[in-house]
Amino acid sequence: MTDAPPDRLSTNPKSPFFDEAVLARGVGIRFDGAEKTTVEEYCVSEGWVRLAVGKTMDRHGQPLTIKLKGLVEPYFRDEPVAE
């Protein structure tokens, strides 16, 4: 496995960008400098994230999302902390 998270990743198993091994490792997202915990999908090269909007679901049982554009910084949560 590489040391950097993928350019694009989704938490939806139906998405072609879903990767269970990477998600099991734990991926954190900083969006415009703020930690985001409700990210459903992100793309670093295009500079956007999809965030879940509360607990609201669509008619297919998937969370409703909003797409925001900005600086996306994914990282692995198990990285050692630099001292």
Q: What is the pLDDT of residues 30-82, one digit of tens each?
A: 999 999 999 999 999 999 999 999 899 999 898 899 999 999 999 998 765 45
pTM: 0.84
Q: Is 59 helix (H, G, I), strand (E, B) or coil?
A: coil
Cα 70 from Cα 34, distance rounded (Å):
11
Nearest CA to 78 among 16, 7, 21? 21
Nearest CA to 74 among 44, 40, 37, 32? 44
What Å distances lie between residue 66 and 11, 31, 46, 56, CA to CA?
Answer: 15, 14, 15, 12
